[in-house]
Every structure is written in C-alpha cells, then in structure tokens.
Homo-oligomer: A and B are copies of this chain.
C-alpha cells in the first residue's frame, strides 16, 4: 500500500538533526568502555538537581488532595491560568518595580512551549536569532518556514550582539538574557538600544527571561524595565531554573495590552491561540507556582539559586586564576569559556574527557559562533563541582 497523497509540512525537512547530546553520550560511552573504572564528573548538566522547596511540595500535595475531595474538586482550569497565579506573577514583577497587569500574564506548562507556540501568531516577517543560543528559537521558526538571520555573538561583543548594521526592517527578534549558553547579560542601556530599534522598525522582541532569578548584578530583571518595551516586546519566563520546576512544568508569557500589529493586539491573538489549542495548567502545578512565588517560596528559590551561583563561583575562580577568557557565571548558572590553545569545541571536549574525566558541552552545538567555546554548568552537586574544578586546575 503506497500513501503519497498526504502532504506534510515541508519546512520540517529543513530542520537539521541535532546530534549534540547524543554525540556527547556516544563519546562518553566509548570512553567508559575503554576505562571502566574512570569516575566521570559531569559539568554539562542543563537540569537542576536540588529538590523543590518544602512549602512548594506541600502546597502541591494539598492541591492533589483537594482534587480527590468531593467538596474541593476542581475541573477544567482557566485557559490562561488561575487568577491566583496570574496575580502572584504580577506581584513578583512588582517586586522589581515592573508594572504588569494580571490579565497580561498567561500561565503555561513551560517556557519552551510558549517560545515554540508564539511563532504561530505571526506572519512572515524575517527572524533574528542570537548565535550561539538555545536551539528552540531556530527550530520552531524553521518549522514555520521563516527566513532566519543570526545575531552573531563573539568575544568582541561579549556575546551580547546589538542591532548595529542591521537593515531597517520589521523583524521578530529573539533575545535571551541571562543567555543560555553564554551566561552573558544585557545591561539596561543595551536593552534600550534594542527596544528603540524595535520601535523604530516595527519589530517585535521575544524576550526569554528564564534565568532572571540568577541576576545578581545591576541588570534588568525584565525587558519591561525598559521604556518603550510595552509596545514592542513579549516576555517568556519560567519557574524551571528559579524554583527547580523542570519536572513540575510551569512557565508564563507576558503580552502587554499595548502591543499591536496594525489594528490587532498581539494579546488578543495569543488569547485566541491558547484558548483554541491549550486547556490550562494542572491545578496542583498552579498551586505549586503560587507557593513558589510567595515571599517564603521566593526566599527558598533565592537560596537554591545562590547555591548554584556559589558552584559557578568556584569555576570562575579557577578560570580567573588561569587567566582564561569566559563569560557568565556571575548572574547565570552557565560559564562560557574559550577553549585554550585555539582548540575546537569538540577537541576540547575530548581533551577534558581524556585528561580530566570531566564532561562539558561543546559550544559549537549552540550555533556556528559557538565554535572554539565550551559550556560549563553549575547545576551539579557541590562535591562534584569542587572535584571537577580540582581536576581542571591540573590539566588546564
């Protein structure tokens, strides 16, 4: 039986398979087969390791019990999130001086979903994506058949590309700050340049704020701290790295009511998208989010993030001592280091694996501009990080 009549979304055929993590796995497995006694230190982990905070776990448990009770049962959640979460998120923004209305906040099961699904509400504007960066922006726009240009990060611009030299066109611009994988963070002055560019050209900025909780220096905690952002930007955020929610699944998107494309508000389009193709976030997850955003929850998150940042501090101290170039690690869980002696990303991967039994992530996996760079992460347990640093101290 042949079936060639159904048409597929041909854009999918333009996607490149990413072999980054499977290649890492293969090389690590081959090494393990050769040296079965080697004790590997994993410094490439992109997932959190600390458990969710006690008050958060308990709030979630109580909500599960409510679903099991006749008087307390709840059915379909509101598609855009319960008011108690939308209001908690608005209050969280108010905590760093940003005014966001609860009805501009759309609760979801994660930033990755929102980043991908947001592509649907736009037409065929060209897209600008940082290089290197988290791969989901690129892939979801390839799936949508859009023309993609890259904002090249480099040692010279500190992996914080600016709009200099771009054609004056209306783009869909992705910015991620603190950045994954470089850990670089835009200043308010830099973001102001981007916001002005967007407002001058009629572009929209999709601002990925998933690592906001790691900010410790004088950097904006939201694009909406920048004057003019409410008419050109959408912000996506998440509790994944903030409160250890990678397994809980809760994020959000802020679409300001003033953001328009001609006569249409983008908020109304996102509302329509979500009410048609989404049915709201699990009730216990929303109660967990509420707890994570309470003063007690925020304090617990801050402790967890500080633990990871202390881990990053050990790595930074090592690289500083060796005089090596890197970005990140002060307001980010990621340290993005230049491979020594002109080594390529994969050469350095093999070097660290062979010589120190340390596993990291080759920078070239995040885009062409990542070649010659390497990502270390601070999500491992303390003993693991200090042992990794001890080994790197010896071989670098």
- Complex CA gap A341/B231 in Å reads 55
Query: Would you call A149 an interface residue if the criterion is a C-beta within 8 Å of the partner chain's C-beta atoms?
Result: no
Interchain nearest-CB distance for A166 vs B (Å)? 14
A143 located at the interface, meaning its Cβ lies under 8 Å from any Cβ of chain B in the complex: yes
Contact call B4/A246, Cβ cutoff below 8 A: no
What residues on B are CB-neighbors of A49 within 8 Å? Answer: 73, 75
Q: Given that A3-B231, A75-B246, A246-B76 are contacting pairs, would A276 and B204 also be in contact in the complex, using a CB cutoff of 8 Å?
A: no
Residue contact A10 to B123, C-beta cutoff 8 Å = yes
In the complex where A60-B64, A143-B273 touch, is A113 in contact with B7 (Cβ < 8 A)?
Answer: no
Q: How large is the interface on A (under 10, 10 to 19, 20 to 34, 35 or more residues)?
A: 35 or more
Other CB < 8 Å A-B pairs besides A1-B231, A75-B246, A284-B284, 8 of them? A3-B202, A4-B262, A5-B169, A54-B68, A73-B244, A75-B244, A77-B249, A112-B279
Pairs across A and B, CB under 8 Å, 14 listed: A1-B199, A3-B259, A5-B201, A6-B172, A7-B261, A8-B262, A8-B269, A48-B75, A53-B68, A57-B64, A75-B246, A115-B277, A249-B280, A282-B284
Chain A positions within 8 Å of B, measured between CB atoms, are 1, 3-10, 12-13, 15, 47-54, 56-58, 60-61, 64-65, 67-70, 72-77, 109-110, 112-113, 115-117, 120-125, 136, 139-140, 143, 169-170, 172, 199, 201-204, 231-232, 244, 246-249, 259-262, 264, 266, 269, 272-273, 276-285, 288
